[in-house]
Amino acid sequence: NAGVTQTPKFRILKIGQSMTLQCAQDMNHNYMYWYRQDPGMGLKLIYYSVGAGITDKGEVPNGYNVSRSTTEDFPLRLELAAPSQTSVYFCASSSGTSGETQYFGPGTRLLVL
Amino acid sequence: GNSVTQMEGPVTLSEEAFLTINCTYTATGYPSLFWYVQYPGEGLQLLLKATKADDKGSNKGFEATYRKETTSFHLEKGSVQVSDSAVYFCALVDNDMRFGAGTRLTVKP
């Protein structure tokens, strides 16, 4: 069981470039999440998904897009990178909401210059 | 809306000292409460959780009790170790999930 995996680990982007952060889980979880973590701040929810084909906005969705074509994968797309998107991005999954534990990937560190 | 407030860090303790990290919350419903821990260079891991009032979560010597009357979920450990050095996040799940800002703990030998 690999759990939640994320690629790449680190990436430098130029302003205006685009990229996709990959996230995959092998626990057959229906719920998946994308967060960003800025220095000294807690995690902010960007987007989440309750199952294949279903996604919804979180607290800070602007500048990002997601898709969920399979249960396993939940990629995050940045279309026009901006310096404000410099952050560490975490993907997570869970079997449900409410009292269920979220399992986190190791994170992707993104620097936009 | 829902929110979580936890004590600001950093916190520096000597080995075997008592630890308290305060966490209070605001929620419109009846949330589940969590403590997550993040070791350097890693993602968050669940430390403990409580899903209803008066529940006590515990793990690895850490404890926290869900106090509805004070809307609190303070994290405690009786004797910290160097290996407990990490960032600790309080979180709640109601209709959405909210995290506190995190508290960095450093334990010195």
pLDDT digits (tens, 9 = 90+) for B52-79: 999 999 999 999 999 999 999 999 999 9
Residue of B nearest to A107 (CA): B43
Residue of A nearest to B92 (CA): A98
Tokens of A56: 């919804």
**pLDDT level of residue A27 (50, 70, 90 thresholds):** very high
Mean residue pLDDT of chain B comes to 93
pLDDT at B1: 80
**pLDDT level of residue A20 (50, 70, 90 thresholds):** very high
With CA atoms as reference, report the closest residue to A43 among B90, B40, B13: B90
Residue of B nearest to A97 (CA): B93
pLDDT at B88: 96
Hey, are the CB atoms on B102 and A42 less than 8 Å from each other?
yes
Query: What does the pLDDT look like over A39-63, one tens digit per residue?
Result: 877 899 999 999 999 999 998 999 9
The size of the A-B interface in CB pairs under 8 A is 53
Residue A74, Cβ neighbours under 10 Å: how many? 29
What percentage of chain A exceeds 70 in pLDDT? 100
SS3 A63: coil
Pairing between β-strand B97-99 and β-strand B86-93 as defined by DSSP bridges? antiparallel
With vertex at residue B44, the alpha carbon angle to CA B42 and CA B46, rounded to the nearest 5 degrees, is: 135
pLDDT at B59: 96
Residues of B in contact with A101 (CB under 8 A): 34, 46, 49
Residues of B in contact with A102 (CB under 8 A): 44, 46, 97
Residues of B in contact with A59 (CB under 8 A): 96
